[in-house]
Structure 1
Amino acid sequence: MPTVICGCYYLVDSTERYRRHEKHYLPLVSSSFHSRILSTTSSTVLTQNFTNPSPSEPVKECIYEFPLYDGVSVVKFTCRIGEDVLHGIVKESVDAKAIFDSAVAKGKTAALLEQAPQAADVFSIKLGNIPAGGKVVVETTYIGELKAHESDGVRFTIPTSIAPRYGSRSDPTTFGSVRAHAQHEGGVQIVVDVDMPTGSSIKGLQSPSHPIAVSMGTVSTASEADPAMSKASATLSLGSATLEKDFVLIVQVKDIGTPKAILETHPTIPNHRALMATLVPKFALPTCHPEIVFVADRSGSMQGNIPMLVSAMKVFLKSMPAGVKFNICSFGSSFSFLWPNSQSYTADNLAEAIRHVGTFDSNMGGTQTFEAIEATVTRRWSDLPLEIMLLTDGDIWDQDELFTYINQQVEETKGNIRIFPLGIGGGVSHSLIEGVARAGNGFAQAVQNGERLDSCVVRMLRGALSPHITDYSLEVKYEHEDDEFEVIDKVTDGMKILLSDSEESQAPSKALDGKEPTISLFDSTANLEPDLGASRGPTLPTISPPKLLQAPNKIPSLFPFSRTTVYLLLSPETYQRNPTAIVLRATSAHGPLALEIPIELLPSPQDTIHKLAAKKAVQDLEEGRGWIYDAKDQKGILIKDRYPSRLDELVTKEGVRLGEKFQIPSKWCSFVAVAASGKEISKREAGDKYNDDGYASCIEEEAESDGDLFDLPSEFSRAPHATLSEPSTRAAMTDTRSYTPYASFGVQAAKKMPPMRGGGGFSGRGGSIFASPSSAHARYISPPAAPSPSPPPPAATNSEVDSTGREPLEKLHSIIALQDFDGSWPVDKAEISRILGFDVGENPQGGNKSPWVTVVMVCYLEKKLADEKDTWELVVEKARAWLVDTVTIDLEGLEKEAAKLVDRT
């Protein structure tokens, strides 16, 4: 089936027997993306130009479909049809559709932007009354957060295809098969400007998906200016690209930032503020020993990805520590397990699993993800935490069913289930993998065709081995009003909702004696006419949102290599107090954790953080979570338990409130635009009546500014950021091998173990949408635990073919494949010498040869393959653990001898 791409089509009657309609596409004249990356967020303007080629036939209604990255917020929608300019405004979907339909019926030009009900990352725009020969220009502006990439970068993705992301559907009005001419031969133009905070240094830009041309030191929109290492620009080196796969750009940045909390005041909503906190935590706790199940997609669409999948699975299996139980589930149209239940990680079971992975092929039909996940959960060992590694190219519709199931299982097991999805290929559904990760308390990653999975799977495995941290909570500290006490608001305190008297009065009234009054079965004054108002059902209870609305409502699991962003929408009730810091707290089996982050105030009103916060809150509601699920009345009864039959309506009401207030489209709200003169738009305010044209009579200027969404004063981003590993932070840390049970999110701690060359864990970087106005950094509440020793600078890695005729990656996989189950390497010097290209010789200290060979292999990985650390890190940790447990000789001396041997090669 041809790839379904974004395009603009209309339906005509078909003469074919089994098809009532056929899609005809408007020619795509041009298409362009202009994106700006600022720290860890992005703003993108998508512009597409179409034309109605008919000189005499107008198009009454056509549909424009396009994908967006999961979680982005559409903040502006403009459509030009001929001479008409349409500016969109967000209304409840029912109202928006009524405005659109009425305008089209009256012959007016109109547009309607909607989110697909089956997938949150696919949008469609209906365009009405396109004149013959008319030109159509659709411009959509959206903002969003960026994914962290390894330890010092961000990953920016522009989805360009709708399928095979989801496959075909039979509905001719949505996403059926597509004619090849739907794609413009000239492709798409992409420009990405990168503007990092002053003090940050961009190390490089690269794209694993498309060839690009990079300009360092400046951005595309800049006039003559002095070059800065914090700026760069990337364009497609061929000028344009076809819409066959997602565009991916990786930006590597030195010292991208520290934990930050930014407070924004809304420019038009009175007394309303929003706060955004971002961090990539730095902490290390002793690893746990869970049950790990690899759920591998072997459907037909995985055909080109199987070799990459097999290679990654072998790294997975070799990197696991002793003490875990594991299993492999393969799925497509059906599913199958290697063993009926997960087995212990032993030498024999590892060998069987390696043989099983070697038989993988893309021969299991379609993609039925739900059944595979459900079977994995059903077969779990109930006394162990379950960690699911989902590897898929993500070809499913109707994601809500899967999200709902995962939400329920996580809640029922009290968070004892985590899911880590890895999307593979150019058409991955980011909505699917990110949604599964949010529901499953894990984190998601994605790789394009041809990208290496090795470092991704090791990062996922390290996440699965991280202990479960629970009871996350957020507090806001305010300025002291006097010297006697400090004001602190806990987000959880706002979950008790005071219902109005009208809701309480719905309960049966009682007489003075405490008994309910008796109703007569024959009342001559009774009105027997039906109450038409009551026939519509009882009115929904009035439930005011909390004064601190947190999004996401439940803080996701924190991992020391994954960025977490949490938002707070502060109601006018808090406006008289000045927030000074936020405090993040959590609990682990090894002790409590906490981090305090000072709040920085933006110098001028903006609404970017408000829109990102509202989108995150709406996303919660769409996926079956959100504050309303945890809200309680004044008696402590959950609102969802008090009104179980009305919960869906309450959720919808809240989704509409957020969408209309902050102008965010969702499954409940849509952008609607009706042609008017100049920059005027049609808008129906609350209480307005439709006029005889079918839409609201209220006309006003466009609410959204045409200016830059991220326009900040230049002096706001001048100061360099302080790092969490400054000498002043480490001054009190003396015992580098101690483990402090009361840990901090921002400092690495380690249980008693020998220092590991090259560091003991991932050290991610985080950042904020805005630069910090000062060098202030996070203050830690807990006594900081000792950090891992700073690693020495890695030796230069030879990326070319060496004397053995092997490339580094091929050699790395050979070394990992040869490692024994317990972490050691065998005493087969001939095989070792063949792989390394030199003779390892005898143990210089005499005795057992295996420790010597193992030390040489570890030293070789650290010195010669330092650039591949993300892949071999857990392998080396396992080897060092074996050396510590089994060796009674001078290990430090062996390491020195091995270093000399490796350095001579």
Structure 2
Amino acid sequence: MMRACGLLTARKEPVPLKSIEVELEVRDHVATVVSTLNYENKEDKPLEAVFIFPLPGDAAVCHFSAEIGQTQIVAKVKEKQKAREEYDDALSSGQQAFLLEESDQSPDIFSLSVGSLPPGESASIRLEYVTELAVQADDGLRFCLPAVLNPRYQPQGAGVQVTSVPASLVPYSLSFSARVSSPRPISKVESNCSLDPLQYLNTDQTQATVKLAAGHKFDRDVELLIYYKDAHQPTAVVEAGQASAEPGCLMGDSVVMVSLYPEFPQSVMSSLASCGEFVFLMDRSRSMSNTRNSSARDTLLLLLKSLPMGCYFNIYSFGSRYEHIFPKSVEYSQQTMEEALKTVEQMEANLGGTEILQPLKHIYSQPCIPSQPRQLFVFTDGEVGNTKEVIDLVKKNSDSHRCFSFGIGEGASSALINGMAKEGGGHAQFITGTDRMQAKAMQSLRFALQPVVVDISVTWDLPKEVSVTVLSPPITALFQGQRSLIYAQLTGQSSEAAEGCVTLKYSLAGHPSENQLHFSLRPAEDTGLTVHKLGAQTLIRSLEEGEDRGWQDTKVKEKVVQLSVQSGISSSLTAFIAVFNNNGEAIQGPLLHKNISKHACNYKPRNKSDSKTGVFTQMKKILSDFWKSCKTVADGALKSVSEGNARSAVPEQQTRDPLLQLVSLQEATGKWLLDPALPTALGKTNEEVEKSKPVLANKDIWATILALIWLHGLKMDSKNEWDLLAMKAASWLRAQNAPWVTECVEAANLLLGCSVTKEALGL
């Protein structure tokens, strides 16, 4: 079994991680996270260690410091290569040093190089970052504290493998507390972990605190879902600039964060598209467990049954190689649907690694079908090392499709999942814990079938003495119930009573719409510069993600470095560096935050003579050696698990969910046949179903109404999973213009013990 990682001794034993303390401060839609890690080196030699750990993909690291004994070292942001050289020079001259930097391959992976932690010494590492909170389908705001870094699959020649170990093997304590405040009342806070009761701090319930219940083992992500009343109300927060900052610069001016929730007419949203090319790309790498893979097959069943007649589709799957069911997308029909489902039923997580780039290239190389907008659905556990390359490819092809992405399980890369959806003008979903993949996939399919919002524009109306510089990139996609955050720098002075106005305009199904928000220009108090930091992060990411990342343009590169240093926010071109001279002894600083148990890391006793080889050369060798030492054991364990699963497998039909059993019987047109398997799915006998049918009623009409009554009467808790295919069935029924529909509805209600009306069925 892989050994636990942390800060490792010369005997490859962990330097005890005594505790992790995490404090979360949520202000409306954004969060500030402060993590403190406490370590102790019980080895008799100083150590150098490298830590690899995840953060949310859109997080802006804004503070890093280390405390050794009575000495505190606060890191500063510097250009990355200079920081690396300063780190090596410091260690070669016997100084304590810490280096924290973003991975070149993925913006949600950071590495921390710790100089020498002296024997018997303790180290306390403090990391602070700010991040936006994503809106979920039920209007909850999602915060995730990553505890897991799964192995990131590295395409051939991409460099070092990052390994993982079971978090449960590392004993330590975790303290996690959250404080939530909002202009709107807080209705509830939920979690995938046990929480102490929510404590309100005022009578209007706009401020509250919550803590993890005692005894939590940090063996999975900690996910919080925060719910406000009137969640769709647009808001604006104006934050005053930093008094010590240079006038006219981003940190010196006020910055506004506007949250917009456009409301779409229900009449338009109910008219779903009946065309499109739907391409489903499913992860079948080894890391997709039997449970995930089974859920993926069920999800594809629901998606295929819910597609509109007349559209086109194809299914790709990938691991170290990729496969596709059809050479090119085919028209959706009963025959093509059945052919696809036969292949889906045989899908296993047996394709090796996670080479997502090649199937994406193949999909994009296929010519688009006229009048059939391409909609790409990507399902993956997100364990890839070339995140930026994948996102760049999606962005390059953004004009020809929309991309809907799904992160499956603990450790899915938020940078990959959010980045693909953002650049592809789609929507991102995360499926963790007991979440059902089917429900979230169907919600995204509904988004894909909605009319496309076009001609999106944002305009500002401000007092004459105030000018605006928008920091956010243009809004490229809008969906029902989706929030857009816009950051803008406000230059100039205005009276305390002054107001600003921002107007969002767009066109939906040929109808122009307009949303306005009026807001006070008076800055909010005590915001900790969170809005400034997120605004700076937004602008930095926009510059980094420009054409060819803009690195041919040295001015763009200089601007990123300048913004990063000025705002104290990490970027792909900068790093946090801390150096302290302690009479020749070095210390170790940044073991970061909550991913402790599943960092990939290692140690190396440091000799002055070898320091000039560079910490990153050492890091590659360290991690490579560690990976090789674990690989044989890991491969053996995987083989053993695989064989065990094969032996214990049971026929799927024996335990199949009745809902999925019923869905599997639906025809591509939307109707059900009076098949012998139908009564079984409904929990009835063939005799009962035949006897209850109105004598003159058509068998297909009767079977379809039976299925719809069962869904509406007994499965409303799963409505978001079957809603689209039920709409398709109702549409088929209306097209038949058949008699005896009322009698069939009454008879079906009587048979199934329900009381569903024709109107509820859409008839």
Q: Encode CA deviations 1:451-483: one digit per residue, 9 max, x unaligned.
A: 3111111012112223333332211112489xx
Tell me the residue number matched to 1:542. Answer: none
Tell me the residue number matched to 1:341. Answer: 328
Q: Encode CA deviations 1:296-328: one digit per residue, 9 max, x unaligned.
A: 111222133211111111111111111210001
Contact 1:246 1:427 (C-alpha < 8 Å) held by counterparts: yes
2:536 aligned to 614, 627, 647, which one?
A: 614
- Worse-matched range after superposition: 826-835 or 30-39: 826-835
1:566 aligns with 2:547: no
1:887 aligns with 2:737: yes
Tell me the residue number matched to 1:592. Answer: 512
Q: Give the whole-Å Cα distance in 2 for the aligned partners of 1:198 and 1:400.
A: 36
Contact 1:199 1:230 (C-alpha < 8 Å) held by counterparts: no
Contact 1:478 1:577 (C-alpha < 8 Å) held by counterparts: no
Q: Give the whole-Å Cα distance in 1 for the aligned partners of 2:721 and 2:331.
A: 23
Deviation at 1:35?
A: 2.3
Distance 1:603 1:163, change over 3 A: closer
Distance 1:397 1:171, change over 3 A: closer
Q: Encode CA deviations 1:783-836: one digit per residue, 9 max, x unaligned.
A: xxxxxxxxxxxxxxxxxxxxxx999x9232222222221122223477336524
Tell me the residue number matched to 1:278. Answer: 259
Deviation at 1:215?
A: 0.9
Q: Give the whole-Å Cα distance in 1 for the aligned partners of 2:158 and 2:391.
A: 24
Tell me the residue number matched to 2:554. Answer: 649
Q: Give the whole-Å Cα distance in 2 for the aligned partners of 1:425 and 1:867.
A: 23
Deviation at 1:897?
A: 6.6
Q: Give the whole-Å Cα distance in 2 for the aligned partners of 1:363 and 1:155.
A: 32
Contact 1:459 1:870 (C-alpha < 8 Å) held by counterparts: yes
Query: Residues 377-776 of structure 1 correspond to what in structure 2 (within 5 A)?
Result: 377-383=364-370, 384-410=372-398, 415-448=399-432, 450-479=434-463, 548-551=469-472, 553-572=473-492, 578=498, 580-588=500-508, 590-601=510-521, 602-604=523-525, 606=527, 607-624=529-546, 647-675=552-580
2:239 aligned to 264, 288, 295, which one?
A: 264
Query: Residues 276-315 of structure 1 correspond to what in structure 2 (within 5 A)?
Result: 276-283=257-264, 284-285=268-269, 286-288=271-273, 289-304=275-290, 305-315=292-302
Tell me the residue number matched to 1:365. Answer: 352
Distance 1:471 1:574, change over 3 A: farther
Tell me the residue number matched to 2:715. Answer: 865
Q: Give the whole-Å Cα distance in 2 for the aligned partners of 1:254 and 1:875.
A: 31
Q: Encode CA deviations 1:86-132: one digit per residue, 9 max, x unaligned.
A: 12232322343344444444433332221111111111222334322
User: Looking at CA atoms only, which structure, 1 or 2, has the larger radius of gyration?
Assistant: 1
The one-letter amino acid of 2:256's match is L
The one-letter amino acid of 2:195's match is A
Q: Encode CA deviations 1:217-240: one digit per residue, 9 max, x unaligned.
A: 34xxx7xx8795964524155333
2:199 aligned to 183, 204, 217, which one?
A: 217
Distance 1:650 1:41, change over 3 A: same
1:205 aligned to 174, 183, 190, which one?
A: 190
Contact 2:98 2:113 (C-alpha < 8 Å) held by counterparts: yes
Tell me the residue number matched to 1:148. Answer: 135
Q: Encode CA deviations 1:400-439: one digit per residue, 9 max, x unaligned.
A: 22222222222xxxx2311111111222111111111122
Q: Give the whole-Å Cα distance in 2 for the aligned partners of 1:896 and 1:272.
A: 68
1:185 aligns with 2:161: no
- Worse-matched range after superposition: 439-448 or 88-97: 88-97
Deviation at 1:184?
A: 6.2
2:672 aligned to 825, 833, 841, which one?
A: 825
Q: Report the 3-state secondary structure (helix = DSSP H, G, I; strand = E; otherwise coil) of the residue aligned with 1:300.
A: coil
Contact 1:213 1:235 (C-alpha < 8 Å) held by counterparts: yes
Tell me the residue number matched to 2:633. Answer: none
Distance 1:348 1:376, change over 3 A: same
Q: Report the 3-state secondary structure (helix = DSSP H, G, I; strand = E; otherwise coil) of the residue aligned with 1:249.
A: strand
Gaps of 5+ in 2: 583-652, 756-763
Distance 1:187 1:215, change over 3 A: same
The one-letter amino acid of 2:185's match is S
Contact 1:424 1:447 (C-alpha < 8 Å) held by counterparts: yes
Q: Matched residue pairs, number? A: 667
Q: Report the 3-state secondary structure (helix = DSSP H, G, I; strand = E; otherwise coil) of the residue aligned with 2:552.
A: helix
Q: Report the 3-state secondary structure (helix = DSSP H, G, I; strand = E; otherwise coil) of the residue aligned with 2:392.
A: helix
Q: Give the whole-Å Cα distance in 2 for the aligned partners of 1:806 and 1:341.
A: 34
Distance 1:134 1:170, change over 3 A: farther
Q: Report the 3-state secondary structure (helix = DSSP H, G, I; strand = E; otherwise coil) of the residue aligned with 1:85.
A: strand
Q: Encode CA deviations 1:503-539: one digit per residue, 9 max, x unaligned.
A: xxxxxxxxxxxxxxxxxxxxxxxxxxxxxxxxxxxxx
Q: Give the whole-Å Cα distance in 2 for the aligned partners of 1:454 and 1:264.
A: 41
Q: Report the 3-state secondary structure (helix = DSSP H, G, I; strand = E; otherwise coil) of the residue aligned with 1:62.
A: strand
The one-letter amino acid of 1:548's match is T
Contact 1:3 1:163 (C-alpha < 8 Å) held by counterparts: no
Q: Give the whole-Å Cα distance in 2 for the aligned partners of 1:46 and 1:404.
A: 31
Contact 2:314 2:326 (C-alpha < 8 Å) held by counterparts: yes
The one-letter amino acid of 2:393's match is Y
Contact 2:191 2:225 (C-alpha < 8 Å) held by counterparts: yes
Tell me the residue number matched to 2:230. Answer: 255
The one-letter amino acid of 2:661's match is S
Query: Residues 18-37 of structure 1 correspond to what in structure 2 (within 5 A)?
Result: 25-37=14-26
Distance 1:340 1:179, change over 3 A: closer
Q: Encode CA deviations 1:269-294: one digit per residue, 9 max, x unaligned.
A: 44612222223433244433110111
Q: Give the whole-Å Cα distance in 1 for the aligned partners of 2:388 and 2:307.
A: 32
1:816 aligned to 652, 663, 677, which one?
A: 663
Q: Give the whole-Å Cα distance in 2 for the aligned partners of 1:892 and 1:65.
A: 64
Q: Give the whole-Å Cα distance in 1 for the aligned partners of 2:734 and 2:494.
A: 56
TM-score, L = length of structure 2: 0.79
Contact 2:497 2:520 (C-alpha < 8 Å) held by counterparts: no
1:51 aligned to 22, 40, 49, which one?
A: 40
1:195 aligns with 2:177: no
Deviation at 1:566?
A: 2.2
Q: Report the 3-state secondary structure (helix = DSSP H, G, I; strand = E; otherwise coil) of the residue aligned with 1:287.
A: coil
The one-letter amino acid of 1:451's match is D
Distance 1:409 1:573, change over 3 A: farther
Contact 1:152 1:254 (C-alpha < 8 Å) held by counterparts: no
Q: Encode CA deviations 1:857-882: one digit per residue, 9 max, x unaligned.
A: 32332332222121111122212222
Q: Give the whole-Å Cα distance in 1 for the aligned partners of 2:8 and 2:52.
A: 9
Tell me the residue number matched to 1:797. Answer: none
Contact 1:4 1:177 (C-alpha < 8 Å) held by counterparts: no
Identity of matched residues, %: 26
Contact 1:114 1:669 (C-alpha < 8 Å) held by counterparts: yes
2:55 aligned to 39, 48, 68, which one?
A: 68
Contact 2:150 2:163 (C-alpha < 8 Å) held by counterparts: no
Q: Encode CA deviations 1:835-891: one digit per residue, 9 max, x unaligned.
A: 244845645594324334433432332332222121111122212222222225486
Distance 1:890 1:661, change over 3 A: farther
Deviation at 1:600?
A: 4.2
Tell me the residue number matched to 2:599. Answer: none
